Amino acid sequence: MTTVATESTVRTTPMNPFAPRADLKVWMGTEVVPVSEARVGVFDHGLLYGDGIFEGIRIYNGRIFKEAEHIRRFFESAKAIRLELPMTGEEISAAMYETMRANGITGDGYIRLVCTRGVGLLGISISHTACPMLIVIADKIALYPPEVYERGLRCIVSSVVRNNANSTSPRVKSLNYLNNVMAKLEAKDAGADEAVMINDEGHVSECTGDNIFLVRYGELLTPSPAEGILEGVTRSVVMELARRRHIPVSEKVLIRHDLYIADECFATGTAAEIVPITEINKRMIGDGKPGPITRMLMQDFVAYRNEE
């Protein structure tokens, strides 16, 4: 007996208020297609196992910010998980600009670069896959509202332990972000904006999608990559801007107590740029307002990315 689909048997997708805009164009593998045709298969190992990598990149004034650094990190992530990217760096760059053009982005925007392991057999072996899928999305990005930069973020220290750097390495910008998702969820549940994550040695690593910096006695301190952090592109720019201002910068082992007694604290990332942190676990950082070094670096960063 065959079942004829009727209106009552056809399931329709409920309206998703967060669905992408219908006229968006996405690079899928070899070309730009309408978002309605931009689909990954249910057998894609990116979906089945989180087996893949990504990058989040800003576009300022029609230009891709720190493009070479992001492409480099993309290739480093790929190398670490033995994913052979299907395109060269130059081809990826061309695909990003083509996707921007297709979406009419001439001002500011955001690029999400993704490469999944591709469609394969059920089974985690990478030898069961053959065709990695490279995706480029160029769109707007959700940013913190301006008032957050005035009042600063309120953070908790998460009970979710940062992935061990010798396990699912946080240095790989992989499609497996559950560690970060769980910590962010805990922050929201606690009524905070963000979570600071501690590694299994009890050292500060980073926030859920941003690196963290402290200021103490006029010195800038930040955890080293060995603590289980992503080596942020924004982090590197901020370290360079501090050096230009002759502010000493060092990578240091930091613990929870260092957060509480910091004179200033801020987070850095592609989306947030530099955002002050003014409270951690109900301890006011400094005088509870964005500090002078933080403010100076915020201004320097805006000048720097406008010049680039």
Residues serving a catalytic function are: 173
Q: Which of residues 130-159 bind ligand PXG (CB under 6 A)?
A: none
d(CA 145, CA 159): 27
Q: Does 56 bind ligand PXG (CB under 6 A)?
A: yes
Q: Does 273 bind ligand PXG (CB under 6 A)?
A: no
Q: How far is the CB of 298 from ligand PXG (least distance, A)?
A: 14
Burial of 252 (0-12, 13-18, 19+ CB in 10 A): middle
Amino acid at 167: S
Distance of CA 148 to the CA centre of its chain: 19
Task: Specify the residue, 77 or 180, whose C-beta has the smaller distance to ligand PXG.
Answer: 180
DSSP-derived pairing of the beta strands 249-251 and 264-269:
unpaired
Member of 24, 40, 190, 271 binding ligand PXG (CB under 6 A): 271
d(CA 203, CA 200): 7
Q: Does 180 bind ligand PXG (CB under 6 A)?
A: yes
Task: Specify the residue, 129 or 180, whose C-beta has the smaller distance to ligand PXG.
Answer: 180
Both tokens assigned to 135: 């995706």
Q: How many residues bind ligand PXG (CB under 6 A)?
A: 15
Q: How far is the CB of 300 from ligand PXG (least distance, A)?
A: 16
DSSP designation for 69? H
Of the ranges 30-38, 76-84, 202-210, 283-291, which one interacts with ligand PXG (CB under 6 A)? 202-210
Per-residue contact flags (x/-) with ligand PXG for residues 207 to 246, judged by CB under 6 A: --xxx------------------x-xxxx-----------
Of the ranges 32-40, 151-159, 246-254, 264-272, which one interacts with ligand PXG (CB under 6 A)? 264-272
CA dihedral for 73, 227, 157, 163, sign (positive or negative): positive
How far is residue 19 from each of residues 87, 175, 181, measured CA to CA in Å? 28, 20, 20
Q: How many CB atoms lie within 10 A of CB 111?
A: 26
Member of 67, 186, 206, 227 binding ligand PXG (CB under 6 A): 206
Contact 54, 159 (CB under 8 A): no
Q: Does 32 bind ligand PXG (CB under 6 A)?
A: no
Positions touching ligand PXG (CB under 6 A) are 56, 180, 206, 209-211, 230, 232-235, 268-271
